[in-house]
Each structure stands twice: as structure tokens, then as C-alpha cells.
Structure 1
């Protein structure tokens, strides 16, 4: 299992780099070329969401992206440092925060877009922050007769 870890300052201009790196690693892992646009878009949404959460909560920590190559699938984990903000339950946990209603709507929209792009997606949250895990199947290595 090969893993690439990417950490970047929670700034919108770094999301493009994360998308490009994710697509390159996905291609190398054997993800079908027809799916690479979905990988790029999903990673862009997840990273933009994490950047927005960091900005709206005043968190200076970097956004974490793990690109994991397994034997039969390629997975991406995008993590933020906002306690309890990753899942739908996390959106309710932030209700008391000043200015929370607007980011909640954007947050739910971003999660809906990701869910529409990725069949295998899991959103979790905890005291240490949230993680969006996405995975795609990889093509088996060609076997010559």
C-alpha cells in the first residue's frame, strides 16, 4: 500500500494544486481515465470545504490530504481541524457559532456535490476535526495469456 500525504495552508489558491496532485496519483494508481475528472472535482470540493471551515473558524492549521493506493482501490482522505464539523451532525454542532448559518448551507451543498460524484464516500467528525474519505476502484494489472 502506497500513501502520499499532502498538507497545505488553508488558502483557496492551494486547492488547485491538491486537485492536480490527486489526479496524478490516481492515474498512477490505476483509476480509470474516464473517472479522473470526478476525482479532481471531488477533491476540489472536499479541499474547498476544509479551507472554508478553517477560515470561518479561525484555524491556522493546514488541511491534510492522504492519497492511498491499495491493491483494488484508490482512496483519498481530506481532513480538517474543526471539531465536530465534518458530518451532517457536525453542521448542527456549529449552530451556536457566530455566522454559522451561511457556511452550513455551503457545507451541505459541498457534501451533496461530493456524494453525487463519488459512490464510496464516508464523512466523519470528532474532537480532532473531520475527515471525508472517498474511494474509487482501480483497474487490475493486465495479465498476458
Structure 2
């Protein structure tokens, strides 16, 4: 299992770099060429979401992206350290109704990711969140001598 770890400051201009690195590693891992645009778009959406969460919450920690090459699948994990509301609670003492725009944008971003990736898992909590996306890989053809 090979893993590439990418950390970047929560700035929108770094999202493009994360997309390019993810697509290059996915290609090397054996993700089908026809799916690479979806990989790029999903990673861009997940990273943009993490950047927005960090900036809105005042978190200075970097956004973390793990690109994991396994035997029959390729996974990407995008992690943030922004506090997420636990259902029925408020984050950082916000008043009811605060953050509705951010919540709508967050839900829209997750909907876009879910539309692009068949195997996606989202976990959130008071210490941050993670989006894990998986794609199948095809092994490289064997060369017969």
C-alpha cells in the first residue's frame, strides 16, 4: 500500500494543486482514464469545502489530503480540523440561524461529491471532519517475455 500525503494552507489557490496531484497519483494507481475528471472534480470540491470550513472557523491548521493506493482500489481522504455541529447542537456558541448559508453550501458540496463518487464516506465531529472517496483500480497489464 502506497500513500502520498499532501498538506496545504487553507487558501483557495492551493486547491488546484491538490486536484492536479490527486489526478496524477490516481492515474499511476490504475484508476480508469475515463474517471480521472471525476476524481479531479471530487477532490477539488472536497478541498474547497475544507478550505471554506477552516476559513469560516478561523482554523489555521493545514488541510490534509491522503492519496492511498491499495491492491484493488484507490482512496482519497480529505480532512479538515474545523469543528462541525453535532446534530441538535451549535458550534462555537453560535446563535440559531447563524451559519445557515455555510450549512447550505456544505450540503451542496457534499451532494456534488456524492454525485461524482459512488463510494464516499463522510465523518464529522467537534474536532474536524473527513471525506473518504474510493475508486476501483485495474492492475497494469503483464508483459510476457
Fold match, TM over 0.5? yes
8 Å contact from structure 2 (residues 57, 83) kept in 1: no
| CA RMSD between the two structures | 2.0
In the alignment, the residues of structure 1 paired with residue 94 and residue 44 of structure 2 have an alpha-carbon distance, to the nearest angstrom, of 25
Give structure 1 stretches of 5+ with no counterpart.
none
8 Å contact from structure 1 (residues 84, 125) kept in 2: yes
Instruction: State the match for 1:65 in structure 2.
Output: 65
C-alpha offsets along residues 37-89 of structure 1, whole Å, 9 cap, x if unaligned? 0000000000000000001111111000000000000000000001235xxx5
Structure whose CA Rg is larger:
2
* TM-score, normalization by structure 1: 0.90
Partner SS for 1:131:
strand
Number of aligned positions between the proteins? 142
8 Å contact from structure 2 (residues 83, 91) kept in 1: no
Distance 1:15 1:45, change over 3 A: same
Instruction: State the match for 1:7 in structure 2.
Output: 7
Instruction: State the match for 2:74 in structure 1.
Output: 74
* TM-score, normalization by structure 2: 0.90
Moved >6 Å (runs of 4+): none
My pick for the range that moved more, 74-83 or 122-131, is 122-131
Distance 1:46 1:91, change over 3 A: farther
